[in-house]
A and B are shown apart, each in its own frame.
Chain A
Amino acid sequence: MSRIEGCFSRLADDGRKALVTYIVAGDPSIEKTIDIMHAMVANGVSMIELGMPFTDPEAEGPVIQLSQERALVNGVTLQDVLSVVAGFREQDDETPIVLMGYVNPVEHMGYDAFASAAADAGVDGTIIVNLPPEEGELLDQSLIAAGIDPVYLLAPTTTEARARMIFSRARGFAYYVSLKGTTGASTLNVSEVGARLEVLRPLGDLPIAVGFGIKNGKSAREVADAGADGVVIGAAVVGLIESCQNEPDRITDVVGGFIREVREALDG
């Protein structure tokens, strides 16, 4: 059983929801990113999406754009992102890690080279934001051969026919983008999400994580109650990291405390 599959099935057995968080590798530094990952897991995170910084992150709102810019100023490369995963795996062999980013750096490294290096580092899945299934077949082949799950996005605008196709191509889980907009937007409509999940659920048999616009324990709980198997929090966590730029020693406490609150809201 893959780490992702194991994660969702253990949580489902306990009647709990997956708490997934997104941070950008290398913001504020490679070492700090590994510390933050451990602190998030210690406080109840079930799975981590690790952002691969890119110069032109078309789907991100301002908070995550700036985080990626800071990582790039720090000189973070795709190789560095993989070394973060390998460093994390020295102490944690259980928490699934999904790399999230844009296709160009991956394509530049080469699909096969990327897939095997990512597998060696301990990566479990990838979400390539600007690679819809129609353009993703070659990368999927490389990933699947290396034992990595290609995760695909579903959107409010996705038709039922497309959703079936996406479910048939995705592995591990499907990621439902909860709103029309960029990451961190403030237009989340929970009842709409619930209605969409009801339509999507019978079209595939993968767990569905919901992200974009979930900011705190309350909205996480609402989305979980609306039928999500997992909730993804990105911009809210990245915003906390940004707020600690001048006091990097506080980051793990600040992020850890926030995660604990969200976990309690989800479990309570």
Chain B
Amino acid sequence: MGNIGDNERFGAMPDDTGHFGAFGGRFVSETLMAALGELEREYAKLKNDPEFNRQFQDDLANYVGRPSPLYFAERLTEAVGGATILLKREDLNHTGAHKINNCIGQALLAKHMGKPRVIAETGAGQHGVAAATVAARFGLECHVYMGSDDIERQSLNVYRMKLLGAEVVPVTSGSRTLKDALSEAMRDWVTNIDNTYYIIGTVAGPHPYPMLVRDFQAVIGQETKAQCQRMFGRLPDMLIACVGGGSNAMGMFYPFLEDTDVRLIGVEPAGKGLETGLHAAPLSRGEVGVLHGNRTYLMQNSDGQVLPTSSISAGLDYPAVGPEHAWLKDIERAEYVAVDDEEAVDACRRLNRLEGILPALESAHAVAYAIKIAATMSRDEIVVINLSGRGDKDIPTLAEIDGISL
């Protein structure tokens, strides 16, 4: 990691034009430019506003239940027989994943901007549930866009959103998954821009979204830093998080960017295997391109068309990735690896048996890689896994693999 000369760069990213080096930016139709400019200005004002910060912190503490524990996974550590493994328990947040942190922040923004209606896209349904939850909490009308294929594989979350009063809109265009839900949410936004706030669920989209979602999720890394100092008197050696769009990883990594002794590892979904092409790992196998408002690594064919993706985890099933991850890869501050469906499912079961913690299949990708790399390390080294969500929603998928119909 010695090639990072000026750590001040980290705090300054993105630059004034919303770029992380060559990545990021604002690639949207003209109709959205004014709204993005307004959002950027409002956020710049509010992020240092004491009252806004008090409201955000208050809801994180009393509504989400933060800080989330940093848990020493003793039996997993013993079983792996290498590094000391800790779990950052984002699965214990209200609604069961890290997604709520960002939704609280953005719903507060929507309130301050006087928008009575919010929209969101969702893959696994975790962000959709979090958005529907904060919409109920703040009294906002909520529409959630979800690919029709994902609606079938995540029926529990779909019903949960409806119970919260949200309207779930099936998206039947394109590949009928997360990327198409995002496109459809952008179409809704352009149509209803006067009264609608778009709560993007990950560190992607046009500037300022990658920045503000990261900032709202950075509480994960900030807490981890303080908790690790308290427990061990030092920082961890390695942070591991799964990466779809990359919000839980970015939230964990960001406060550590200048601590260059801490290795940052993002785990992409290798699906049925990187060599099969049936995966969702743009940082591992993609090329630079432009999708959903930003320049980043993208799974695309030789004609610049976006490729279909494959992952057992609907929440990671996305052909692009947040632009800050693309930048961190290029400057070699973070490393990106991939774990396939089978390894993720095995890790999910193993953590459940050893620790009584059922991780989401998304987070299980991070667990799988942690098990592999921790085995090569020593007990005095500390590995923190961001356990970004709980696996209740994935029980039907696990049962199906076991040939059990519930």
Chain A residues with a Cβ under 8 A of chain B:
54-62, 65-66, 69, 72, 77-79, 102-109, 129-132, 134-135, 152-159, 162, 166, 177, 180-182, 185
Using Cβ atoms and an 8 Å threshold, which residues of chain B touch A57? 183
Using Cβ atoms and an 8 Å threshold, which residues of chain B touch A65? 173-174
Using Cβ atoms and an 8 Å threshold, which residues of chain A touch B17? 134
Using Cβ atoms and an 8 Å threshold, which residues of chain B touch A134? 17, 25-26
Most buried by A among B30, B186, B300, B305: B30
29 A-B residue pairs with CB within 8 Å: A55-B174, A56-B306, A60-B187, A65-B173, A66-B173, A69-B173, A78-B303, A104-B289, A104-B300, A104-B304, A108-B303, A130-B28, A130-B29, A132-B27, A132-B33, A134-B26, A135-B26, A135-B27, A152-B30, A153-B31, A155-B31, A157-B32, A177-B29, A180-B31, A180-B191, A180-B194, A181-B190, A181-B191, A182-B190
When the two chains form their complex, are residues B29 and A129 in contact, meaning their CB atoms are under 8 A apart? yes
Task: Please tell me if B160 contacts chain A, counting CB pairs below 8 Å.
Answer: no
Using Cβ atoms and an 8 Å threshold, which residues of chain A touch B190? 59, 180-182
Chain B residues with a Cβ under 8 A of chain A:
17, 25-35, 173-174, 179-180, 183, 186-187, 190-194, 287, 289-293, 298, 300, 302-306
Most buried by A among B33, B183, B192: B33
Which of B28, B183, B289 is in CB contact (< 8 Å) with A108? B289
Which of B32, B33, B183 is in CB contact (< 8 Å) with A162? B33
When the two chains form their complex, are residues A153 and B305 in contact, meaning their CB atoms are under 8 A apart? no
**CB of B304, distance to nearest CB on chain A (Å):** 3
Which of B35, B179, B292 is in CB contact (< 8 Å) with A157? B35
Using Cβ atoms and an 8 Å threshold, which residues of chain A touch B187? 58-61, 182
Also in contact, A107 and B304, with CB within 8 A (given A56-B179, A56-B292, A58-B186): yes
When the two chains form their complex, are residues B34 and A159 in contact, meaning their CB atoms are under 8 A apart? yes
Using Cβ atoms and an 8 Å threshold, which residues of chain B touch A156? 31
Using Cβ atoms and an 8 Å threshold, which residues of chain A touch B33? 132, 155, 157-158, 162
When the two chains form their complex, are residues B31 and A103 in contact, meaning their CB atoms are under 8 A apart? no
When the two chains form their complex, are residues B304 and A106 in contact, meaning their CB atoms are under 8 A apart? yes
Q: Given A104-B304, A129-B29, A155-B33, 5 other A-B contacts at CB below 8 A?
A: A56-B180, A59-B29, A155-B34, A162-B33, A162-B34
When the two chains form their complex, are residues A155 and B289 in contact, meaning their CB atoms are under 8 A apart? no
Using Cβ atoms and an 8 Å threshold, which residues of chain B touch A109? 304
Closest to A77 in B: B303
> Which applies to chain B's interface (DSSP): helix, strand, loop or mixed?
mixed
Using Cβ atoms and an 8 Å threshold, which residues of chain A touch B292? 56, 58
Using Cβ atoms and an 8 Å threshold, which residues of chain B touch A185? 191
Q: In the complex, A66 Cα to B174 Cα: how many Å?
A: 9
Q: In the complex, A104 Cα to B27 Cα: how many Å?
A: 10
Closest to A152 in B: B30
Q: In the complex, A130 Cα to B174 Cα: how many Å?
A: 18
Q: In the complex, A60 Cα to B183 Cα: how many Å?
A: 10
Q: In the complex, A166 Cα to B186 Cα: how many Å?
A: 22
When the two chains form their complex, are residues B30 and A132 in contact, meaning their CB atoms are under 8 A apart? yes
Using Cβ atoms and an 8 Å threshold, which residues of chain A touch B32? 157
When the two chains form their complex, are residues A177 and B28 in contact, meaning their CB atoms are under 8 A apart? no
Q: In the complex, A105 Cα to B192 Cα: how many Å?
A: 28
Closest to A109 in B: B304
Using Cβ atoms and an 8 Å threshold, which residues of chain A touch B191? 180-182, 185
Closest to B29 in A: A59
When the two chains form their complex, are residues A54 and B305 in contact, meaning their CB atoms are under 8 A apart? yes
Q: In the complex, A155 Cα to B291 Cα: how many Å?
A: 21
**CB of B174, distance to nearest CB on chain A (Å):** 6
Closest to A157 in B: B34
When the two chains form their complex, are residues A135 and B25 in contact, meaning their CB atoms are under 8 A apart? yes
Most buried by B among A57, A66, A182: A182
Also in contact, A155 and B305, with CB within 8 A (given A56-B291, A69-B173, A107-B290): no
Also in contact, A158 and B30, with CB within 8 A (given A59-B190, A72-B305, A180-B193): yes
Also in contact, A55 and B305, with CB within 8 A (given A104-B300, A181-B190): yes
When the two chains form their complex, are residues B30 and A153 in contact, meaning their CB atoms are under 8 A apart? yes
Closest to B36 in A: A132
Q: In the complex, A104 Cα to B302 Cα: how many Å?
A: 11
**CB of A83, distance to nearest CB on chain B (Å):** 13
When the two chains form their complex, are residues B31 and A130 in contact, meaning their CB atoms are under 8 A apart? no
Using Cβ atoms and an 8 Å threshold, which residues of chain A touch B300? 104, 108
Closest 7 A/B residue pairs (Cβ): A108-B304, A105-B304, A155-B31, A157-B34, A153-B30, A181-B191, A155-B30
Q: In the complex, A102 Cα to B33 Cα: how many Å?
A: 16
Q: In the complex, A106 Cα to B27 Cα: how many Å?
A: 14
Q: In the complex, A134 Cα to B29 Cα: how many Å?
A: 12
**CB of B41, distance to nearest CB on chain A (Å):** 13
Most buried by B among A57, A58, A66, A135: A58
When the two chains form their complex, are residues A58 and B183 in contact, meaning their CB atoms are under 8 A apart? yes
Q: In the complex, A60 Cα to B184 Cα: how many Å?
A: 10
**CB of B324, distance to nearest CB on chain A (Å):** 17
**CB of B22, distance to nearest CB on chain A (Å):** 11
Q: In the complex, A132 Cα to B303 Cα: how many Å?
A: 22
Using Cβ atoms and an 8 Å threshold, which residues of chain A touch B304? 78, 104-109
Q: In the complex, A106 Cα to B303 Cα: how many Å?
A: 9
When the two chains form their complex, are residues A56 and B29 in contact, meaning their CB atoms are under 8 A apart? no
Using Cβ atoms and an 8 Å threshold, which residues of chain B touch A129? 29
Most buried by B among A62, A72, A130: A130
Q: In the complex, A134 Cα to B37 Cα: how many Å?
A: 12
When the two chains form their complex, are residues A105 and B31 in contact, meaning their CB atoms are under 8 A apart? no
When the two chains form their complex, are residues A105 and B27 in contact, meaning their CB atoms are under 8 A apart? no
Closest to B17 in A: A134
Closest to B27 in A: A130
